[in-house]
């Protein structure tokens, strides 16, 4: 059983199309890690006193671009061949990254970050919509799990790798390294036959009106499916709790616990590692149709983990943040697979785009909530945030149970 658990996820690499697509995404994510570390360093260089505010604004621009543009990715993917979409958006992102070392004002930086993530808003949903078309249904969960595991691991170790390069090359050169990574991702995509990425999908001419209709249909299908609607509710809970971890851990560790940057880095690394390990194994652990056990247990686990964070030692916090990372992934990851399993092939791109927008809208709401709690209740922010998360879980369970029985 244990051998099967660890070997099965790698069988997906026998699928050459997926292996190449995964490799392209891997090198692109490495490039993203370099970009975001370079962004932090260049923000400080632009205005040391406003570095945090600039970074917060950049994060807002990132999420705003996703919310505004990703719902249209489905309509775009039906108008153009998916290989071309990947190449064009990847090339667009590469061009924007190359401009970042030359910014001299905050507004220039924020504008470029918005453009960079506008490209990602079309690239990422298209990438996710391709996966269920190129892998067998029996391997779909493993494919999603591997993609999320790599994302989580690079969010932890990518900045460390970029930091080593920053010491060697300097902060502005990080953007050129990122551009090279994005270019290599394009090269890998070029080697994939276009027909392999277009399986079961025919391109059609779409005008402005029909494009809006596609967006509306994607949103309607997303919220019209009870399983996906419940998954989205658990993602919202996870966003509230996860935003607390991302926004307020630094104050907890450095101000309340009076510890150092290295302690903060370790805590956040374990949060990411917990999520990565769970993503790697989830496809083999939860094979139910609705993933309700995974979704609910994940939302409860991340909520309970943050609930006690104000009252533990640093070692206790490390344990809690591993559990929080596990819970975050249990609540977030199933949606990707559920869309592929519950939405018709021709509609999946529209639903993936809508899901990408709404899942980021949850974080757009969650970040200010976390910031408010951290500022207003610095000694109890995690307690109140954890209580809010658990309250939302109970409300969601009561609502969906009532609708099931009616």
Q: What is the pLDDT of residues 16-30, one digit of tens each?
A: 999 999 999 899 988
Question: What share of the chain has pLDDT > 90, as a percent?
Answer: 33
Q: Delimit the domains of the chain by residue range.
A: 9-206, 218-406
User: pLDDT at position 250, please?
Assistant: 78
Q: How confident is the model at residue 344 (pLDDT cuts 50, 70, 90)?
A: confident
Q: What's phi and psi for 379, nearest 5 deg?
A: -95, -5
- State the residue for tokens 């391109």: 203
Q: How many CB atoms neighbour CB 112 within 10 A?
A: 19
The pLDDT score that the predictor gives to residue 2 is 42
- List all residues 6 or more positions away from 65 whose beta carbon is below 8 Å from its beta carbon: 114, 115, 116, 117, 118, 120, 121
Sign of CA dihedral 337, 342, 347, 352: negative
CA distance 337 to 335: 5
| CATH topology classification for 9-206 | Growth Hormone; Chain: A; (1.20.1250)
Radius of gyration of the chain (CA): 21
Give the pLDDT score at 54.
Answer: 76
Matching fold, domains 9-206 and 218-406:
yes
Give the pLDDT band (50/70/90) at residue 286: low
The CATH number, out of the four listed (2.40.37.20, 1.20.1250.20, 3.20.20.70, 3.40.50.1820), of the domain defined by the range 218-406: 1.20.1250.20
Q: How far is the C-alpha of 120 from the C-alpha of 357, rounded, in Å?
A: 12
In the predicted model, what is the mean pLDDT of the chain? 83
168 exposed, middle or buried (CB, 10 Å; 0-12, 13-18, 19+)?
A: exposed
């Amino acid at each position: 059983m244990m051998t099967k658990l660890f070997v099965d996820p790698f069988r997906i690499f026998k699928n050459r199309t997926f292996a190449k697509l995964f490799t392209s995404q891997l090198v692109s994510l490495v490039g993203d890690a370099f970009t975001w570390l370079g962004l932090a360093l260049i923000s400080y260089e632009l205005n040391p006193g406003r570095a945090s505010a600039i970074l917060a604004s950049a994060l807002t621009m990132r999420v705003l671009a996703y919310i505004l543009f990703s719902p249209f990715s489905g309509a775009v993917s039906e108008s153009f061949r998916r290989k071309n979409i990947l190449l064009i958006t990847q090339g667009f992102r590469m061009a924007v990254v190359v401009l970042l070392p030359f910014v001299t004002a905050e507004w220039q930086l924020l504008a470029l970050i918005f453009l960079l993530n506008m490209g990602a808003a079309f690239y990422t949903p298209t990438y996710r919509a391709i996966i269920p078309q190129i892998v067998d249904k029996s391997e779909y969960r493993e494919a999603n799990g591997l993609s999320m595991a790599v994302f989580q691991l690079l969010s932890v170790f990518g900045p460390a790798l970029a930091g080593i390069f920053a010491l060697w090359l300097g902060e502005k050169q990080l953007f050129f390294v990122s551009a090279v990574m994005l270019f290599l991702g394009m090269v890998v995509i070029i080697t994939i036959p276009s027909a392999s990425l277009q399986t079961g999908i025919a391109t059609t001419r779409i005008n402005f009106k029909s494009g809006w209709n596609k967006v509306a249909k994607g949103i309607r299908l997303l919220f019209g499916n009870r399983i996906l609607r419940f998954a989205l509710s658990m993602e919202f809970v996870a966003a509230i709790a996860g935003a607390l971890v991302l926004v307020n851990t630094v104050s907890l560790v450095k101000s309340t616990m009076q510890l150092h940057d290295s302690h903060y880095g370790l805590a956040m690394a374990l949060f990411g590692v917990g999520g990565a390990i769970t993503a790697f194994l989830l496809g083999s652990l939860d094979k139910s149709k609705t993933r309700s056990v995974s979704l609910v247990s994940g939302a409860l686990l991340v909520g309970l983990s943050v609930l006690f964070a104000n009252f533990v030692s640093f070692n206790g916090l490390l344990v809690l943040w591993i559990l929080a990372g596990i819970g975050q992934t249990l609540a977030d990851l199933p949606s990707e697979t559920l869309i592929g399993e519950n939405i018709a092939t021709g509609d999946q791109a529209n639903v993936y785009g809508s899901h990408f927008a709404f899942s980021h809208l949850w974080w757009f709401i969650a970040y200010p909530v976390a910031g408010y709690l951290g500022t207003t209740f610095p000694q109890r922010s995690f307690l109140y945030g954890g209580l809010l998360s658990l309250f939302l879980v109970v409300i969601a369970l009561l609502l969906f149970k009532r609708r099931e029985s009616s």
